[in-house]
Amino acid sequence: MEFSSSEENQSFSLTKFESMLKTNNVFFFDSNEFENIIHHYLEIGKIALAKKAIKLGLDQHPTSINLRLFRVEILIFENKLSEAAKLLNMLFELEPNNEELYIQKANIHSKRDQHEEAIEVFKQALKVSNDSSEIHSLIGMEYLFLDNYEAAKIHFKNCIDLNIEDYSSLYNIIYCFEFLDQNQEAIDYLNWYLDQNPYCEVAWHQLGKQYLEIKDLNKALTAFDFAIISDDTFIGAYLEKAKVLEQLNRFKEAIDNYNISMAIEGPTAFTYLKIGGCHEKMHHKDKALKYFFKSVKEDPAFDKGWIQIAHFYFSKKDDLKALFYVNKAIDIDEENVSYWLFYSKTNHRLNYLEEAERGFKKTLELGGSSLDIWIQRGDVLIELGEIEAAKYNFVQALEYYPESEELEFRLSGLCFKLNDTEAGFAHLLNGLHINSEHIFIIEELFPDVYKSQNVIQFIESYKKSDN
């Protein structure tokens, strides 16, 4: 590997500097050398070494503005904002037209959540800046902090006007469009951009994603193809293209694109999972399972692979294996609502009622509060003979779903079982008012209650009055 002269010089300076630290010998460096050393350490996150270089640099070059600016940067990073501001004010007296001073001053405002003040300082920086592109980008970020996406967009567009290959700003512009739900505007802008820079794989990729968002699959496919033509190693384009092909039911072609992506970057658990999903949709069940297992072999902590295997065995009614693999998924992500719900259904089908109830309870605790989950948990409690617990479950559910006849009829049956006839008739009446046709719920869950003379007479009386 060949190094440029500047790279060789920097490497020599770093070696010399670190040798000095180890030996306690004092070597002389010019201020530019110190700046390069400090910049290097900041880029790789070695703050302690950067601070040492700043101190030693200022010992040798006490009047250096740039070295003192590095000190300001470190102070801001360490949240020592008052100290940083004090040092900046001193530097402003020496170099009032130094744009970096304005940038750091604005950064202090930003750190203090004074984003409007930061913007005003950045605008002052524009007046003295030789590279307004960076300043516009920083202003755009401050507007993002203020949730002013329209204003942010303007400044990121200014960056593009100054540098058509500023892909970071391009991403930010599209982010603004997406947040504002301006898909068509994003498409129009990207098409304009591609007129200026027709071989930009990033823009083609983003255009494809926008078309995908509005369900124009054919245009999305074309855009991803152009992204690949512009850069045939662009992994994201192959993956997005494969996604579109799946939606078009062109599963073999989707698999081909997933395979190309793996040929470029190597296999991934995600890609194996997607290939398995394609085979499953083509009813190649054995191949699908093979790739699902490949996904978890590639990454044993890939919970999406384990849950897919669990679903596979559940569909085959091999419930014990399904339970084994859903437990593996839960071990990895125990906060996933859908995993616990699947766990509950699997246990229920195995007639492991206590475990099924535990799973439904956990699902509810994690925020899965659909009516169906409340009902399933309550019905399991009824099967377990936990009448009081079932009643409490449905009372809780009624707070979320006050107009549910399914809950009212269940509560009616439970209240009768608990000899609370007044509440039983009250819930029965509520259920009949909401939807009398679902009275069969009581008949199925509580046949003895349904057949009782008092309940029969009450239902008949309601039907007569309703007619």
Confidence at 98, pLDDT banded by 50, 70, 90: confident
First to last CA, the chain: 93
Q: What is the mean pLDDT of the chain?
A: 91
Phi, psi of 394 (to 5 degrees): -70, -30
* pLDDT > 80? residue 239: yes
Task: Output the pLDDT for position 1.
Answer: 31
- For the stretch 414-423, pLDDT in tens is 999 999 999 9
- For the stretch 325-355, pLDDT in tens is 999 999 999 999 999 999 999 999 999 999 9
Q: How far is CA 193 from the centre of its chain?
A: 28
Task: Output the pLDDT for position 5.
Answer: 46
- Tokens 């524009």 correspond to 126
Confidence at 8, pLDDT banded by 50, 70, 90: low
Q: Are 113 and 83 in contact (CB under 8 A)?
A: no
Domain residue spans in the chain? 267-355, 396-467
* pLDDT > 90? residue 94: no
Confidence at 30, pLDDT banded by 50, 70, 90: confident
- For the stretch 274-314, pLDDT in tens is 999 999 999 999 999 999 999 999 999 999 999 999 999 99
- How much of the chain, in percent, has pLDDT values that exceed 70? 97
Cα 273 to Cα 253: distance, rounded to the nearest angstrom: 16
Task: Output the pLDDT for position 11.
Answer: 67
- For the stretch 161-219, pLDDT in tens is 999 999 999 999 999 999 999 999 999 999 999 999 999 999 999 999 999 999 999 99
Cα 137 to Cα 121: distance, rounded to the nearest angstrom: 14
- For the stretch 122-163, pLDDT in tens is 999 998 888 889 999 999 999 999 999 999 999 999 999 999
Cα 103 to Cα 108: distance, rounded to the nearest angstrom: 9
3-state secondary structure 57-82: HHHHCCCCHHHHHHHHHHHHHCCCHH
* pLDDT > 50? residue 3: no
Task: Output the pLDDT for position 7.
Answer: 58
Domain 267-355 has CATH 1.25.40.10: yes
Task: Output the pLDDT for position 371.
Answer: 96
Residue 187 CB-density burial (10 A; 0-12 exposed, 13-18 middle, 19+ buried): buried
pTM recorded for the entire structure: 0.78
Question: Residue 147 has what DSSP assignment?
Answer: T
Task: Output the pLDDT for position 256.
Answer: 97
Cα 234 to Cα 207: distance, rounded to the nearest angstrom: 15
- Tokens 């936990």 correspond to 386
